[in-house]
Amino acid sequence: MEQLLSVMTQSNAAPMELNLARILRASLRQAGGGPLAGLPSTLILKDTKTRLKLRLAVSPTTGITISRARKTETALVEGLFDPFSGAPPKFELRGAWRKPLLHRRLTRLFQPALTPWQTAATHFFNAARLLDPNEFTIESYSRDTDTRHHWGQGPEQALILGSAATLGHLYNGYALLIDDILKGRIQCQASMRTIAIITDATTENWMDLQ
């Protein structure tokens, strides 16, 4: 039976906390409570990009609470948490956490679980209240796997191109369309209005599924 462990964030959680919470929730659902056993009661994570530190209060019976750590607290785990990249966080484990078993546990805990991008896309488009299938026709195409996904039958056309991994991050809710476009990871051919509305939907998906 799946053990329900909570992952709590503050009401004013930053994007990195929200993405981390989602990753942890998915990882805990997959593996039950096992990964938390044997971990220290507190983990301090440091994002090497923004230098912000997060404190994870770990309870093997109830779950994890994520909050902002004080600047003076030493980081046990450092990594990249860029919430907009959609890429899995990368970590360097320090001190006692070099032990291979703990390293594996932490790596597994922080590893986002992605559903196949077409499955995630179907779910995303059906759940996105901002998108009307009678207004939009959206085609997504993965260039590296030559796979496609169609949604809608409306007159407003949009073509979204990217790698399967990038599309996976986008439709699984770990990334935002406009950010992927601006960083050159995704091309999107559509009117400015259509791009804005799809981006709005991906942002809502990203924020609401935490």
Partner 1 sequence: MTDTAFKGEVNLDQWLDRHHVKRVRTMATDLDGFALGKYCAREKFTKGLPIGHNLADVALGSDSESTPHLGFWHSFRRSVLGDIALTPDLSTLIPDGQDPDLGQVICDFTFLDGRPISLCPRTKLKQQVKKLDDLGLSVKCTFELEFFLYDNSFDDAERKQYQNLSPVGASPLQTIYLLKDSFRAVTFMNHVLTRLEAYGIPWEAWNDENGMGQIELNLVPDEPVVMADRVVRAKQLIFETAVELGLSTTFMAHPQPGFSNGMHIHHSLLRDGHPQFYDAGAPKNRSQLLRHWLAGLVETMPASVSYLCPSVNAYRRLQEFAAPPVTATWGEENKSTGIRLICDGAKTARIEHRVGAGDLNPYHALAVILAGGLTGLAAQQEPPTEFTDLAWGIPASIERLPSDIMTAAKTLDACDALKQELVAEDVEYWIKSRRHEWMTFHRAGNDPDSPIPGLWEFQRYFAVS
Which positions touch partner 1 (CB under 8 A)? 11-12, 14-16, 47, 49-52, 68, 84, 176-178, 191-193, 195-197, 199-200, 203, 207
The least distance separating partner 1 from the CB of residue 194, rounded to whole angstroms, comes to 8
Min. distance of Cβ 25 from partner 1 in angstroms? 20
Q: Residue 88 CA to chain centroid, in angstroms?
A: 8
Q: Is 179 exposed, middle or buried (0-12, 13-18, 19+ CB in 10 A)?
A: buried
Task: Please say which residue, 84 or 151, places its beta carbon nearer to partner 1.
Answer: 84
Cβ closer to partner 1: 118 or 166? 166
Q: Where do the H-state alpha helices sit in the chain?
A: 15-31, 100-109, 117-127, 164-171, 177-182, 192-208
On whether the CB atoms of residues 131 and 160 are closer than 8 A, the answer is no
Shortest distance in whole angstroms from residue 50 CB to partner 1: 3
Question: Vertex 133, ends 128 and 138: CA angle to 5°?
Answer: 85
Nearer to partner 1, 21 or 106 (CB): 21
Give 131's DSSP letter. Answer: -
Instruction: Choose between 13 and 114: whose C-beta lies nearer to partner 1.
Output: 13
Q: Least distance (Å) from partner 1 to the CB of residue 100? A: 32
What is the three-class DSSP state of 143?
coil
